[in-house]
């Protein structure tokens, strides 16, 4: 006999309503949410304050259509009301960031992600999605694929326009193979840079569980697309499983933007983790890491330690330290934006961009789900010279050397962050976030928000 349940829960302030449908092993669960936030930003000492009020209405949908077929979706609609902000008309060119529509004294924009996973066998899964892809153990600056990680960096927004810089999901088809000690995953992804031009990403990853607490991963990525003078279609060779991109790119004429990374995660005492990642965009030789005579020696590295949910007294404590170094010209490509490592104007890897360094510390303390406090401080060095931006293109007539963090063109500054999340009810969040920047570059941002989920 079939079982059909519809459950509504209500309380006075705020309102909670959970919609659940169940039919044997199959089920669908729907949650609605409403959020209101106020942001006050100042991007440098000479700029005016920007004040923006954002109202967000959205939903979460998840469930199981069959015992081995699951689905998950998220959608939201945002309305931004401005003060001291210029919302320039959006041309829907992806490289200008996520698109929006204009309304009186503001703008409106929607956002969504969705995925379907078919667990064909216990060790084999196929996924079709419009979602984020994240590789590697790094907590703050993932180098290969950062997924939906977003950090407020005012130095990247010095214009008078307020583009939406939120990382954008990608449509992809993927499969994962998981055996006892080894795993393999492969993704075929569509990227967006210009409306009328194609752009693709292929990525695969091989993971090894060396010990119960030690894992190692190897990743390859490849990006290519169309430019005005060079049309491109998808290369079938990159769809074949277990084919190394490093060798396969010769089949298409060695025109793609390839990257390789190796990472590790070593977990001790259940709460402590040591991790690291090395990303290689290009190298002249395996011994040329610190050779600045050739601009094409492009690599990045990140190493960190983390302590998760260490219970002391009635509180849970977290800590994360991470050091990141990104050489000049990393993520760029000499053939143009159709080949650089970006999607909707955002880096697929670290949002620090080329020719940068960050020393990051984060400290967190929480009491159940009732109260959370996060404090962070980081020292950032960002070069502004040629080869330090994702869109820079190295031409044949340009100098062939490079300079990492040239003292004449590098900005040094410190970022301080504090966030408090208060949850008086299971469905009601109240929070405050504050970011301050000091040094050769100054800025600040304050956000106050409240949200309910029904």
Of the pLDDT bands very low, low, confident and very high (cuts 50, 70, 90), residue 17 is low
For domain 33-360+378-413, which CATH number applies: 3.40.50, 3.30.70, 2.40.160, 1.10.287?
Answer: 2.40.160
pLDDT value at position 232?
86
Model confidence at 154: pLDDT above 70: no
DSSP letter (8 states) at residue 155: G
C-alpha distances in Å from residue 438, one per residue of 154, 222, 357, 377, 444: 11, 37, 16, 11, 9
Tokens of 155: 């130095």
Tokens of 216: 């190692």
Residues 28-47: what's their mean pLDDT?
A: 84
pTM: 0.90
Name the residue ranges covered by the structural domains of the chain: 33-360+378-413
DSSP letter (8 states) at residue 400: S
How far, in Å, CA of 188 to CA of 234, rounded? 10
Per-residue model confidence as pLDDT tens digits over 405-416: 999 999 999 999
Of the pLDDT bands very low, low, confident and very high (cuts 50, 70, 90), residue 2 is very low
3-state helix, strand, coil in the chain (%, to 5): 5, 55, 40
Model confidence at 159: pLDDT above 70: no
How far, in Å, CA of 53 to CA of 73, rounded? 26
Backbone dihedral angles phi then psi of residue 245, each to the nearest 5 degrees: -65, -30
Model confidence at 212: pLDDT above 60: yes
Query: What's the first-to-final CA gap in the chain, in angstroms?
Result: 30
User: What is the per-residue DSSP string for 309-371?
Assistant: EEEETTEEEEEEEEEEEE-TTTT--TT-TTTSSEETTEESS-TT-SSEEEEEEEEEEEETTTE
Alpha-helical runs (H) found in 132-271: 245-248
pLDDT value at position 12?
29
User: What is the per-residue DSSP string for 36-50?
Assistant: EEEEEEE-STTSPPE
How far, in Å, CA of 42 to CA of 31, rounded? 35
How far, in Å, CA of 266 to CA of 215, rounded? 7
pLDDT value at position 310?
85
How far, in Å, CA of 27 to CA of 70, rounded? 10
How far, in Å, CA of 416 to CA of 326, rounded? 21
Residue 55 or residue 91, greater confidence? 55
How much is the mean pLDDT over the chain?
A: 88
How far, in Å, CA of 148 to CA of 115, rounded? 15
pLDDT value at position 89?
82
How far, in Å, CA of 84 to CA of 152, rounded? 19
Per-residue model confidence as pLDDT tens digits over 169-207: 999 999 999 998 999 999 999 999 998 899 999 999 999
Residues 45-72: what's their mean pLDDT?
A: 88
Per-residue model confidence as pLDDT tens digits over 133-151: 999 999 999 999 999 988 8
Residues 359-365: what's their mean pLDDT?
A: 96
């Amino acid at each position: 006999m079939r079982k059909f349940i519809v459950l509504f829960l209500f309380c006075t302030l705020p309102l909670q309503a959970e919609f659940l449908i169940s039919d044997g092993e199959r089920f669908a669960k729907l949650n609605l949410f409403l959020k209101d936030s106020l942001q006050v930003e100042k991007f440098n000492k000479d700029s005016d304050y920007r004040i923006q009020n954002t109202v967000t209405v959205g939903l979460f949908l998840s469930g199981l259509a069959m015992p081995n077929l699951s689905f998950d979706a998220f959608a939201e609609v945002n309305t931004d009301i401005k003060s001291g902000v210029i919302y320039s008309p959006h041309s829907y060119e992806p490289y200008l960031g996520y698109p929006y529509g204009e309304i009186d004294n503001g703008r409106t924009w929607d956002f969504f992600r969705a995925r379907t996973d078919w667990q064909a066998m216990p060790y084999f899964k196929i996924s079709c999605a419009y979602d984020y892809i994240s590789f590697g153990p790094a907590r703050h600056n993932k180098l290969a694929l950062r997924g939906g990680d977003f950090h407020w960096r005012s130095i990247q927004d010095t214009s008078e326009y307020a583009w939406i810089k939120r990382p954008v999901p990608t449509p992809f088809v993927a499969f994962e193979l998981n055996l006892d000690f080894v795993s393999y995953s492969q993704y075929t992804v569509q990227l967006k840079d210009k409306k009328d031009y194609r752009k693709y990403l292929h990525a695969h990853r091989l993971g090894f569980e060396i010990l119960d607490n030690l894992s190692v991963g190897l990743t390859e990525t490849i990006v290519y697309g169309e430019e005005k003078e060079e049309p491109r279609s998808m290369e079938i060779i990159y769809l074949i499983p277990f084919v190394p991109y490093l060798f396969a790119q010769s089949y298409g004429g060695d025109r793609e933007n390839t990257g390789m990374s190796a990472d590790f995660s070593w977990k001790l005492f259940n709460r402590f983790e040591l991790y690291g990642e090395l990303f290689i965009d290009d190298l002249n030789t395996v011994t040329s890491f610190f050779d600045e005579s050739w601009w094409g020696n492009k690599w990045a590295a990140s190493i960190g330690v983390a302590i998760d949910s260490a219970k002391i007294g009635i509180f849970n404590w977290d800590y994360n330290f991470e050091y990141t170094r990104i050489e000049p010209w990393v993520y760029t490509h000499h053939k143009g934006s159709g080949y650089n490592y970006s999607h909707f104007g955002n880096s697929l890897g670290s949002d620090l961009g080329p020719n940068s360094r960050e020393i990051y510390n984060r400290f967190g303390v929480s009491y159940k789900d009732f109260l959370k406090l996060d404090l962070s401080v980081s020292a950032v060095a960002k070069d502004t010279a040629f080869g330090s931006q994702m869109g820079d293109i190295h031409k044949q007539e340009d100098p062939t050397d490079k300079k990492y963090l040239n003292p004449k063109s590098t900005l040094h500054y410190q970022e301080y962050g504090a966030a408090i999340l208060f949850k008086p009810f299971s469905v009601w969040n109240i929070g405050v976030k504050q970011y301050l920047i000091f040094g050769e570059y100054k800025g600040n941002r304050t956000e106050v928000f409240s949200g309910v989920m029904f």
